[in-house]
Amino acid sequence: MTSAPALHVAHESTGEIDLGAAEQAAGELLRALGISTDSESLRGTPGRMARAYAELFTPRPFDLTTFPNEEGYDELVLARSIPVRSVCEHHLLPFVGTAHVGYLPGDRILGLSKLARVVEHFACRPQVQERLTKQVADWLSEQLQPKGVGVVIEAEHTCMTLRGVQATGSNTVTSTLLGTLRQDARSRQEFFALTGVNA
Ligand SMILES: Nc1nc2c(ncn2[C@@H]2O[C@H](COP(=O)(O)OP(=O)(O)OP(=O)(O)O)[C@@H](O)[C@H]2O)c(=O)[nH]1
Ligand SMILES: [Zn+2]
């Protein structure tokens, strides 16, 4: 199988990260919340907070490597249980879970790891789960021109399980289907059956 020229996926930063300013602000936030940073173990906490959020908001750049679909493979390609870690844009608390990302190939097939990389790419920013699901599906559709795309994400929102309503054990399922996977009932059913999500 010959590799097509890789298309570089630009880092889509949500803005410049100023670690120094973030550390200072984190220190002020802790003090405003009544948490002293005087002790040895908390002295570095504002800096750690700044670096932790910077890490969560910085996706790793990657190349979108595709190959010609030489065998004319026309069934579903599905990567299941891709880990998802993101941060909800309402509380800036983590939501974590798994994504199932699949497509029905057209003229080209995608390097399999890229299905996980595109999830990370859109997860590394303040998000809502619905938008993340749709962004992954739309991006695959635009870049690969497949016959269909399906994305399902199941995630626990810690803003909903650890605080607020404290709905411990709950998780949220979102899905976006495009093309044949949306229009054709049999393809749709097969997709959900293979993801293991009851729909
Ligand atoms: N649709 C959607 N809502 C989300 C997501 N992540 C968090 N939220 C919700 O965003 C909402 C923000 O609502 P507010 O009423 O402003 O916040 P709040 O007072 O902290 O609400 P509670 O969480 O109910 O205590 C909450 O209902 C969250 O559950 C997400 O990915 N998608
Ligand atoms: Zn939230």
DSSP 140-161: HHHHH--SEEEEEEEEEEHHHH
Q: Where in the chain are the domains? A: 19-56, 65-195
**Are 180 and 147 spatial neighbours (Cβ–Cβ below 8 Å)?**
yes
What value of ipTM does the predicted structure carry? 0.91
Distance 159 CA to ligand 2 centre (A): 4
Architecture of domain 65-195: 2-Layer Sandwich (3.30)
Distance 87 CA to ligand 2 centre (A): 8
Q: Is 91 annotated as a binding residue?
A: yes
* 170 contact partners, CB below 8 Å, separation of at least 6: 156, 160, 161
Distance 132 CA to ligand 1 centre (A): 16
- Name the residue with the closest Cα to ligand 1, atom 14: 90
155 lines ligand 1 (CB under 6 A): no
What digits encode the pLDDT tens for the residues 77-136? 999 999 999 999 999 999 999 999 999 999 999 999 999 999 999 999 999 999 999 999
Closest ligand by atom to 172 CA: 1
Closest ligand by atom to 166 CA: 1
Q: Which two tokens stand for residue 47?
A: 């800096």
What digits encode the pLDDT tens for the residues 27-86? 999 999 999 999 999 999 999 999 999 999 999 999 999 999 999 999 999 999 999 999
